[in-house]
């Protein structure tokens, strides 16, 4: 991992990755990432700030990474790294967009493994800031 990220840093993905509609979409998105030369990867937001509560940190990540979805799902960097072959690559200083590298072989089981890392979806505390007229 090129950027040193604490294991208890939060990893957030917009929407509900457990929604059955998302399995094939995420498989296709990982393929698109590969076709763009970025490897088989899926987008997330990652953040770490021990001075912030979990709720505040989720709000910080969703704001910085522009997550407009009504719901979001959360896991930790530690959970990501404990599941080979996954790796996380933040774009810059946290909070930041981060690609989760799914490894060199893409298949449905790998995407399911990625999805299972996330806890059940919860309300995005800042979704309203992206709504028209706000």
Q: Which of 8, 28, 55, 56 binds another protein (CB under 8 A)?
A: 28
- Pick 52 or 71: Cβ nearer another protein: 71
Nearest to 13 by CA among 130, 101, 121, 87: 121
Longest CA pairwise span in the chain (Å): 44
Number of residues that bind another protein (CB under 8 A): 33
DSSP per-residue codes, 72-120: EEEEEHHHHHTSTT-EEEESSSSSEEEEEE--S---HHHHHHHHHTSPP
Nearest approach in angstroms of CB 76 to another protein is: 18
Binding to another protein (CB under 8 A) within 61-100 occurs at 65-71, 91, 97
| Binding footprint of another protein on the chain (CB under 8 A) | 13-16, 19, 21-22, 25-26, 28-29, 31-33, 35-36, 42-44, 65-71, 91, 97, 129-132, 134
């Amino acid at each position: 991992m090129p950027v040193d990220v604490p294991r208890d840093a939060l990893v957030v993905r917009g929407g509900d990755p457990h929604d059955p509609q998302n399995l094939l979409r995420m498989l296709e998105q990982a393929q698109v990432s590969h076709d763009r030369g970025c490897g088989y990867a899926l987008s997330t937001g990652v953040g770490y700030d021990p001075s912030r509560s979990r709720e505040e940190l989720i709000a910080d990540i969703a704001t910085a990474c522009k997550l407009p979805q009504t719901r979001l799902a959360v896991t930790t960097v530690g959970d990501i790294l404990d599941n080979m072959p996954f790796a996380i690559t933040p774009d810059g200083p946290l909070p930041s967009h981060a690609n989760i590298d799914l490894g060199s072989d893409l298949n449905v089981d790998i995407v399911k493994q990625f999805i299972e890392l996330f806890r059940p979806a919860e309300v995005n505390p800042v979704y309203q800031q992206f709504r028209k007229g706000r």
